[in-house]
Chains A and B, each alone.
Chain A
Amino acid sequence: MIEYLLFPGCFIQNRIPFIEASAKFVFEQLGIQQSAGKFGCCPNPVGLRFVDEKTWAALGARNIVEAEMEGKPIMSLCNGCYQSLSVVDHDLKHNSKLKDEVNGILAEIGKEYRGTARIEHFVRVLHDEAGLELIKSKITRPLTGLKVALHPGCHYARPSHILHGEDPFNLTYLRDLVEATGATVVDYPQENLCCGNGVRNSDPYTANTMLKAKIDGALSAGADCFAVNCPACFQQMDAEQRNLKELAEEGQEYKFPTFYITELLAMAMGKSPKEIGVNFHRNKGKEALGKVGL
């Protein structure tokens, strides 16, 4: 198998590294080779892009050039980084004026974008390159009985004409990976609803109403937890629940756990929650994990 340059993204790398730990364990189990790259900010598709698109494209291109120079594809652990790098790559390939401008900027640091690097999301690498059969063969402690509501997140598959692969409103890869752990996926009407993270920095109230709708939907469907594949969604869905107090019905307390898909896989492959740092979650999901003897 080829070696990837791992792009954890600033949030996983510098705030919630336990997700990187679970991912690296899973990659090791599956023989997915990866190493670190000399990456800067992706940059944030719901941050710097809104300040100045040209700077966003130039910094994104700088990261892609690192992969071109190493001759290795990028594997992102984050929807946002994956979307930024993929969209910048697409724009540069389809807009020669922008490409010339960006290369003029990159010349200042002696670099040039050529457009030869491949950019992947780790979910696709797990699903299509490692494969479900191999993953299932590594499961030693199936999460049988755990009911999981999916949240693949907006920037995993949209815009769908650029982010290759799945039907953006009928996503199956995350579902397949959760089922490979032995857990049961439960459907809920808000599966494709945005977590609200993208509007949090402009209007936290609106972000909270979106999170509440998702959790209420998952609870009504009988789910024990969420499974996610994006750190921004993870942060919104785990940590920001503390802000739902004012929106809660009387007697309702929001403590719904969220797991990264790599955490579910790592636990099903034998790791204890503590070993991969699940104790660093704000909602540690003791009840949910207790159901499967963890």
Chain B
Amino acid sequence: MVKVDLNFKRAVLDKLVDGDKISYCFQCGKCNDVCPISARWGSRYNPRDIVLFSALGYKEALVNAVVKDPFILWGCTTCETCDEKCPAEIPITDIISMLKNLAVSLGVTPDFYPSSALQIMEHGMAIPVQAAVEKRREKLGIGVAPEIPVSEVQKIMQATGIEKLVKKEETA
């Protein structure tokens, strides 16, 4: 028996009624046709199914599938070709991004994503300043990098609660 999660379904439908227009999927499969990842992996990466399961509120089934093979979600390269080619103008990549947030909160994520968030929290940027690069910048005549507002970035990340989310990841 497939479980329907109504809150999850509502969150997805909010994405579809995104202020500009109402979008709805009629399962034509254009997203799969134009997807460079589907072209390489066939049904293992299937944006049409992701949209269908999301719109129906099949959160549990989706989560179970992602736990079994994270690639079915994390295989998306975010090229946004599907969004552009979708005849119903479904914001597919936005739905995938939302699902990735869900997967991270459940700990089903490649290491890069939580560790990159920690880098930003520590340095204010995903890629921090390096002494060797600072020297190179001076040699190239562009001077040292401007100061990064680290404390403001940290305060924002504390206020949104992401700190707790990724630190939990780190110790898990």
Contact A40 B153 (CB under 8 A): yes
B78 at the interface (CB under 8 A from A): yes
Report A-chain residues with C-beta under 8 Å of the C-beta of B87: none
Contacts of B124 in A (CB 8 A): 40-41
A17 close to B84 (CB less than 8 A): no
A207: B residues at CB distance < 8 A: 77
**Could you say which of B126, B146, B160 contacts A55, with CB atoms under 8 Å apart?**
B160
Contact B80 A37 (CB under 8 A): no
Q: Is the interface of B mostly helix, strand, loop or mixed?
A: helix
Q: What's the nearest-Cβ distance from chain A to residue B33, in Å?
A: 14
Given A15-B133, A52-B101, A201-B112, A41 and B160 contact (CB-CB distance below 8 Å): no
User: Is B30 an interface position by the 8 A CB rule?
Assistant: no
Q: Does A1 contact B (CB under 8 A)?
A: no
In the complex, B10 has a CB within 8 A of chain A: no
Cβ proximity bits B128-166 to A, threshold 8 Å, 1 near / 0 not: 111001001100111001111110110111011010011
In the complex with contacts A109-B156, A154-B80, A51-B126 CB distance below 8 A: no
**Stretch in contact with the other chain, from B1-9, B36-44, B46-54, B56-64:** B36-44
A-B contacts, CB under 8 A, total: 197
Contact A37 B146 (CB under 8 A): yes
Q: In the complex, what residues of B have CB within 8 A of residue A94's CB?
A: 18-20
Give the complex CA separation of A55 and B162 in angstroms: 7
| Residue count of chain B within 8 Å CB distance of chain A | 63
Contact status A154-B146, CB under 8 Å: no
Cβ-defined contact, A51 with B113, below 8 A: yes
Point out the residue from A45, A58, A201 that lies within 8 Å of B160, measured CB to CB. A58
Nearest CB on A from B100, distance (A)? 4
Rounded to whole angstroms, the CA-CA distance of A160 and B93 in the bound complex is 13
Write the nearest CB–CB distance from A281 to chain B, whole angstroms: 13
A51 touches B165 (CB 8 A): yes
Question: Are the CB atoms of B70 and A158 closer together than 8 Å?
Answer: no
Return the CB mask of B107-132 against A: 1 if under 8 Å, else 0. 00110111011001000111111100
Whether B127 pairs with A10 at a CB distance below 8 angstroms is yes
Residues of B within 8 A of A192 (CB): 81
Q: Given known contacts A40-B153, A51-B104, A206-B41, is B79 in contact with A194 (CB within 8 Å)?
A: yes
Task: Check B71 for interface membership: any CB of A closer than 8 A.
Answer: yes
A46 to B124, CA, bound (A): 17
Whether B142 pairs with A50 at a CB distance below 8 angstroms is no
Partner of A40, one of B74, B142, B152: B152
CB distance from B59 to the nearest CB of A (A): 17
* 7 A-B pairs with C-beta separation under 8 A: A17-B136, A40-B120, A55-B157, A105-B159, A158-B81, A159-B83, A199-B76
If A53-B101, A199-B77 are given as contacts, then 18 extra A-B residue pairs at C-beta distance below 8 Å, sorted by A number, are A10-B127, A13-B145, A14-B129, A18-B136, A21-B142, A39-B148, A51-B100, A51-B165, A52-B162, A54-B160, A54-B162, A55-B156, A155-B78, A160-B84, A194-B77, A198-B78, A210-B36, A210-B77
